[in-house]
Structure 1
Amino acid sequence: MSSVAEVVGSTAAIGYGLAAIGPGVGVGLIFAAYIQSTARQPEAARITQPFMWIGFAVVEVLALLGIAFGFIWAGNPIQ
């Protein structure tokens, strides 16, 4: 029996695509919380801004780890 459609590719690409959703949502939540806190207390903006950048960096490291592990564990393509 012949197949009508054949899937060829790497599961690592699918895995990284799914792994990129988390950091995307995380960055959105971090900046939304910063904007909301600055709107509520504008005088505290200078105090909360470093925490925003630290949170942003931590979330982006997770995304970079996801792509690095995707390349490391690429394995064999689906056949």
Structure 2
Amino acid sequence: MDSLTLIGMVSIFTAGLTMAIGSIAPALGEGRALAQGLLAIAQQPDEANNITRTLFVGIAMVESTGIYCLVIAMIILFANPFWDHMVSKAGG
């Protein structure tokens, strides 16, 4: 197995691991936020509009963590500096 194949395999594995681990925390955080938001609405129905608006902003903030992990995985797959260095070294 040559070094290009090894770098490709490690890059794909790392991107998958990044998405797997990076999506667990946002999913748990969103579930907990939604449960607490629904509990707050059930206890104070008059404030449902304010609670819902705040809940959506909070969920968007939590979701940004998963989006950052997606961006990092895409960089690892498509703009990997190690891959470019090895290809230029092999070609030249």
After TM superposition, is the score higher than 0.5? yes
Give the percent of matched residue pairs that are identical in Structure 1 and Structure 2.
23
State the AA in 1 paired with 2:26: P
> After the TM superposition, which parts of structure 1 deviate over 6 Å for at least 4 consecutive aligned residues?
none
Q: What is the root-mean-square deviation in Å for CA atoms of aligned residues?
A: 1.6
User: What TM-score, normalized by structure 1, do the two folds share?
Assistant: 0.77
How many aligned residue pairs are there? Answer: 69
Return the index of the structure with the highest Cα Rg: 2
> Displacement of 1:30 after TM fit?
1.1
Equivalent positions of 1:1-79 (< 5 A) are 9-74=12-77
User: What TM-score, normalized by structure 2, do the two folds share?
Assistant: 0.67
**Larger RCO (CA under 8 A, 6+ residues apart):** 1
For the residues of structure 1 that align with 2:49 and 2:59, how far apart are their CA atoms? 16
Structure number having the greater helix percentage: 2
Identify unmatched segments of 5+ residues in structure 1: 1-7
Identify unmatched segments of 5+ residues in structure 2: 1-8, 83-92
